[in-house]
């Protein structure tokens, strides 16, 4: 009888979540019919940034590695797709497959060096490599276009429709986020979280901590490459700013705003951050100042992020 009661309690907890998830999926599918093209365009940008933030959080929230250079790997994905399409004339499928592979290869090289240091030294090394990538992109005119970037990148006619672009991004981003969710909820993900809490103890029981950290770095780089490739196809361009440290800062703020210890934190953080920018910038030229003040207040008042704060409130209510 006790086992049956436990199963019933478990089902009661899962059914509302399943209903909420089904409602959310239906809403996302019906979204193009509910909002205008301008907001649908913003939604596509939000989906791509949510994937980039979730990729970063695989390192930041689940492995405890603070990276200041995710934008560099994001740009590797974008420029790989852009160069293959604009310079070599390959198809869209090979170009988008090559992007995460190239980002993972570069991520392996960068990560192999960076994981040999910890904490602030690791963070500074990732920032240094991101700036190296930015410099290569900025100076390599024959291939990357230098500071002019790659513009008018040829893409299939399918992407000329914002609705088609939205559904394509929705399917690909949802698939990648689901893959990240499976990774963090696997034994491998459990080991990463143990390393985050106490790497010394994990190493003491025989786990090769550096190898796991490198694997997390490479996986994060792979998904960042997918996000960069998606944005290149969506915008039809690639610019050196994609690799700049300010882009990395945006990703870090999004993760912290939503909550790094909740899987949905970067997704919610992306929505909050983007809506704040679009709303405030419509009413004032000093939107950077106001946005900064709001973000500081949110981080100070909600130390576990928006999702962590709401989870605590709901648990107390229950």
| Tens of pLDDT, residues 9-29 | 554 555 566 777 788 888 888
Both 166 and 137 in a single domain? yes
Both 108 and 202 in a single domain? yes
Q: Which two tokens stand for residue 169?
A: 């991004």
Q: What is the predicted pLDDT for the residue at 155? A: 86
Domain termination site, one of 246, 269, 284: 246
Between 211 and 311, the more confident residue is 211
pLDDT per position as a tens digit, 50-76: 999 999 999 998 988 888 989 999 999
Evaluate whether residue 242 is within a structural domain: yes
The pLDDT confidence band at residue 292, using thresholds 50, 70 and 90, is: confident
Evaluate whether residue 85 is within a structural domain: yes
Evaluate whether residue 224 is within a structural domain: yes
Evaluate whether residue 189 is within a structural domain: yes
- Check: CB of residue 228 under 8 Å from CB of residue 75: yes
Q: What is the predicted pLDDT for the residue at 311? A: 74
Domain count, the chain: 2
Does pLDDT of 7 surpass 60?
no
Q: What is the predicted pLDDT for the residue at 11? A: 46
Quick one: angle between helices 2-34 and 37-60, nearest 10? 140
Evaluate whether residue 285 is within a structural domain: no
pLDDT per position as a tens digit, 235-286: 888 999 999 888 998 899 899 888 888 888 899 999 988 888 888 888 777 7
Q: Which of 81, 239, 234, 240 is nearest to 169 (CA)?
A: 234
Q: What is the predicted pLDDT for the residue at 8? A: 45
Both 218 and 135 in a single domain? yes
The pLDDT confidence band at residue 188, using thresholds 50, 70 and 90, is: very high
Report the pLDDT averaged over residues 118-128. Answer: 88
64 C-beta neighbours (distance < 10 Å), count: 19
Domain termination site, one of 204, 231, 246: 246
Evaluate whether residue 147 is within a structural domain: yes
Does pLDDT of 86 surpass 80?
yes
Both 4 and 138 in a single domain? no
Both 94 and 149 in a single domain? yes
Please, what is the average pLDDT of the chain? 86
Q: Which domain holds residue 24?
A: 1-34
Quick one: angle between helices 209-235 and 187-197, nearest 10? 110
Both 8 and 121 in a single domain? no
Domain termination site, one of 226, 246, 266: 246
Q: What is the predicted pLDDT for the residue at 177? A: 93
Q: What is the predicted pLDDT for the residue at 107? A: 93
Q: What is the predicted pLDDT for the residue at 2? A: 52
- Check: CB of residue 211 under 8 Å from CB of residue 111: no
Both 61 and 121 in a single domain? yes
Q: What is the predicted pLDDT for the residue at 112? A: 92
Phi, psi for 110 (deg, rounded to 5): -65, -45
Both 10 and 83 in a single domain? no
Both 150 and 193 in a single domain? yes
Evaluate whether residue 80 is within a structural domain: yes
Both 54 and 162 in a single domain? yes
Percentages helix, strand, coil for the chain (3-state, rounded to 5) are: 80, 0, 20
Evaluate whether residue 315 is within a structural domain: no
Of 36-45, 222-231, 274-283, which range is least confident? 274-283
Report the pLDDT averaged over residues 82-111. Answer: 91
pLDDT per position as a tens digit, 129-156: 999 999 999 988 888 888 888 888 888 8
% of the chain surpassing 70 pLDDT: 93
Both 196 and 55 in a single domain? yes
The pLDDT confidence band at residue 204, using thresholds 50, 70 and 90, is: confident
Does pLDDT of 102 surpass 90?
yes
Q: Rounded to the nearest 5 degrees, what angle is found at the Cα of 63, between the Cα atoms of 60 and 69?
A: 40
Both 46 and 164 in a single domain? yes
Contacts of 53 (CB under 8 A, 6+ apart): 251, 254, 255, 258, 266, 267, 269, 270
Q: What is the predicted pLDDT for the residue at 213? A: 92
């Amino acid at each position: 009888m006790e086992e049956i009661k436990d199963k019933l309690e478990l089902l009661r907890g899962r059914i509302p979540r399943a209903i909420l998830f089904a409602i959310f999926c239906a809403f996302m599918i019906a979204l193009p019919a509910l909002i205008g093209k301008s907001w649908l365009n913003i939604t596509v940008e939000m989906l791509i940034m949510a994937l980039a933030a979730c990729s970063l959080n695989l390192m930041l929230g689940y492995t405890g590695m603070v990276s200041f250079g995710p934008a560099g790997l994001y740009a590797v994905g974008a420029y790989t797709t852009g160069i293959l399409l604009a310079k070599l004339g390959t198809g869209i499928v090979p170009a988008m497959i090559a992007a995460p592979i190239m980002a993972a290869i570069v991520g392996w090289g960068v990560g192999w060096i960076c994981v040999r240091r910890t904490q602030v030294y690791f963070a500074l090394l990732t920032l240094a490599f991101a700036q190296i990538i930015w410099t290569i992109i900025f100076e390599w005119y024959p291939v990357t276009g230098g500071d002019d970037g790659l513009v008018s990148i040829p893409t299939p006619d399918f992407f000329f429709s914002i609705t088609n672009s939205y559904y394509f991004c929705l399917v690909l981003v949802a698939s990648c986020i689901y893959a990240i969710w499976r990774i963090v909820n696997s034994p491998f993900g459990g080991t990463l979280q143990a390393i985050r809490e106490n790497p010394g103890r994990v190493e003491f029981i025989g786990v090769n901590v550096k190898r796991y950290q490198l694997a997390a770095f490479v996986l994060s780089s792979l998904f960042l490459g997918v996000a960069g490739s998606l944005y290149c196809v969506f915008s039809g361009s690639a610019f050196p700013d994609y690799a700049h440290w300010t882009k990395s800062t945006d990703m870090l703020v999004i993760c912290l705003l939503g909550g790094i210890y909740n899987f949905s934190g970067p997704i919610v953080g992306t929505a909050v951050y983007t809506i704040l920018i679009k709303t405030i910038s419509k009413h004032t030229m000093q939107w950077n100042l106001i946005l900064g003040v709001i973000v500081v207040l949110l981080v100070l008042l909600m130390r576990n992020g928006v999702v962590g704060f709401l989870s605590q409130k709901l648990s107390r209510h229950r």
